[in-house]
Amino acid sequence: MSNFLYILAAVLMGAALSLQPAINATMARVLGNPLLAAGISISISLVVVVVLWLAWGKAAGDFSQFKYLPWWVVIGGVVGAIFVAGSIVTAPVLGVALFFVCMVAGQLIGSTIIDQIGAFGLEVKPINTMKIVGLGLVILGAGLVQNSNS
């Protein structure tokens, strides 16, 4: 039952995330620049995360350990910035549904490769027939969504 709550939380987060490209595209249109809109959006995210971190209390972690992080952890922040800025430009052109179908297809392909090689210290989870079928169905779904826009 506990997995159900995590799955529900992930679905709700995904639904909320679908708002971001449309909202940020509106901000970019009003401000006249997608990178300015992305910067403001990311700045708001930073403020919210810092407030939550400070409110967390003693279990908030040890910032002094930052120096021991592997160099490649910056990739997470870079990818986040690329997502926000890129979604502002691409979602209005593709439509939010096609944008996210393509995002999910890319995430599944990338995550399957990460699982296959055990990247970033994760346990290796080999590619199998069912994963390949699932990836194929997602890619087929992306094609169907694209064709429904024509």
Per-residue pLDDT tens digits for 100-147 = 888 888 888 899 999 999 998 899 999 999 999 988 988 888 788 777
- What pLDDT is stored for residue 36 in this prediction? 97
- Say whether pTM exceeds 0.75: yes
CA nearest to 90, candidates 34, 132, 39: 34
- What pLDDT is stored for residue 149 in this prediction? 61
Domains identified in the chain, total number:
1
- What pLDDT is stored for residue 101 in this prediction? 85
- What pLDDT is stored for residue 1 in this prediction? 57
pLDDT > 90 fraction of the chain, expressed in percent and rounded: 55
Q: Over the chain, what is the mean pLDDT?
A: 89
Q: How confident is the model at residue 58 (pLDDT cuts 50, 70, 90)?
A: low
Count of CA atoms in the C-beta half-sphere (13 A) of 128: 4
Domain that residue 132 falls in:
2-148
d(CA 150, CA 138): 19
Q: How confident is the model at residue 56 (pLDDT cuts 50, 70, 90)?
A: confident
- Length of the chain as a residue count: 150
Q: In this model, does residue 37 exceed pLDDT 80?
A: yes
CA nearest to 33, candidates 107, 85, 100: 85
In sign, the C-alpha dihedral spanning 81, 131, 9, 149 is: positive
- What pLDDT is stored for residue 142 in this prediction? 78
